[in-house]
Structures are given as C-alpha cells and as structure tokens.
Amino acid sequence: PLFSKMEKIEKAEKAGEASPEKNEKEKKDAKEKAPPKQENYISIEDFKKVEIKVGLIKEAQRIEKSNKLLRLKVDLGEGRLRQIISGIALDYEPESLVGQMVCV
C-alpha cells in the first residue's frame, strides 16, 4: 500500500515512547526491508497527453453473480452514455452514486 493506516502509525509512536531501544531496532529493520525506489515516473510531457473527463452518473446497478462490481452509465457530455464497470460495490450503494460527478 502507498499509505500506512493511521492506527499502525499511532501504535508505532506509542510503542516508540515506551521503549527507545525497540524503536531503534525497528528503524534499522525498516531500512533493511525498504523497497527499492521506483524511478518509473512519466515526464510532464507524457502527463499533458492524458485526457481526464468529468462525467455525471446517470444510472448505477449491481452486476448479477458479483459481489464487487457495479455497472455505471456515465454522461460525459458526448451525446451518449458511457458504460463503466467498477469494482466499488463493497464500499458504495448504487443508489448513492446516481447524480455524483466522477473523473473518467
């Protein structure tokens, strides 16, 4: 994951205050286990080529035989609705998404 959960950070801070020796050992272990830096960034010129559109969700419904997928009909202002399948059904109810603006 890109970001640590706040609970883990808070627990680590509390543990660090209780035993400074343990904190130093954890820092040393973290340095050894740190993943290599990624240098696979795109240039600003490549980023300028990306086309991000904002659309309005007109319809949202669950997909049969799936717990995670929703079928969204999004109006991007192109004169037709675009169908987007999204794996967000565990976090959002379809009814709550209708009328929301999304980036596509």
pLDDT of 57-73, one tens digit each? 999 999 999 999 999 99
**pTM of the predicted model, to two decimals?**
0.58
Q: What is the 3-state secondary structure (H, E, C) of the chain?
A: CCCCCHHHHHHHHHHHHHCHHHHHHHHHHHHHHCCCCCCCCCCHHHHHCCCCCEEEEEEEEECCCCCCCEEEEEECCCCCEEEEEECCCCCCCHHHHCCCEEEC
**Does the structure show a pLDDT above 90 at 81?**
yes
